[in-house]
């Protein structure tokens, strides 16, 4: 977990710690990811291969067959990343700074999976969803994406306009005594 300064709001009253991260720099890249030349360019640029379907690796997440979400590494900026992507990918593409469009949350605790299991219609057991997996789905009625940062830590993103609603939802779902501690057995 990043240091406390990177959070704008933290609630530790529940069984799982819920924290809203400050602005996280990220870039959306839309382009045909099956294009070999594009894949090579992305690898050279980001220092990591294009993640497989529904995977996340080294801060690059598979959003769709033609979409990546790139967390901008420390020391760089969305503007610099976009400039590099524009310069190096020859196929039709679009790179956009979505940092202000997204809210990012950290869920930390042994039963973090169960907080999401209350609202997401998917199998969140450790067998079905592990580190490296990336899942876009809904949480309640909110479109979200999340991944395991560690066995006891989840990062979740949603649209920025729903930041407060999502935070309150997560805090409510994480209340002490409300998680059956089933998924981490």
Least distance in angstroms from the C-beta of 180 to another protein: 20
**List 3, 5, 36, 53, residue binding another protein (CB under 8 A):** 53
HEC profile of the chain:
CCCHHHEEEEECCCCCEEEEECCCCEEEEEECCCCHHHHHHHHHHHCCCCCCCCEEECCEEEEECCEEEEECCCCCCHHHHHHHHHHHCCCCEEEEECHHHEEEEEEECCCHHHHHHCCCCCCCCCCCCCCCEEEEEEECCEEEEEEEEECCEEEEEEEHHHHHHHHHHHHHHCCCCCCCCCCCC
Least distance in angstroms from the C-beta of 135 to another protein: 8
# binding residues, another protein (CB under 8 A): 13
Site for another protein in 134-163 (CB under 8 A): 135-138, 143
Which of 75/121 has CB closer to another protein? 121
The contact set with another protein (CB under 8 A) reads 53-54, 63-65, 67, 121-122, 135-138, 143
């Amino acid at each position: 977990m990043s240091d406390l300064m990177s959070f704008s709001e933290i609630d530790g009253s529940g069984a799982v710690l819920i924290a809203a991260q400050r602005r996280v720099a990220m870039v959306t890249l839309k382009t045909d990811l099956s294009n070999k030349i594009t894949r090579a360019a992305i690898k050279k640029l980001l220092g990591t291969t294009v993640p497989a379907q529904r995977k996340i690796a080294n801060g690059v997440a598979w959003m769709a067959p033609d979409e990546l979400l790139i967390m901008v590494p420390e020391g760089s900026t969305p503007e610099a990343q976009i400039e590099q992507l524009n310069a190096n990918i020859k196929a039709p593409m679009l790179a956009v700074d979505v940092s202000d469009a997204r809210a990012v949350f950290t869920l930390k605790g042994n039963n973090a999976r169960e907080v999401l299991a209350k609202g997401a219609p998917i199998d969140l057991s450790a067998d079905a969803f592990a580190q490296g997996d990336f899942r876009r789905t809904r949480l309640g009625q909110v479109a979200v994406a999340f991944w395991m940062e560690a066995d006891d830590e989840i990062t979740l993103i949603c649209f920025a306009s729903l930041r407060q609603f999502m935070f309150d939802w997560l805090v409510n779902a994480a209340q002490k005594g409300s998680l059956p501690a089933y998924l981490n057995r």
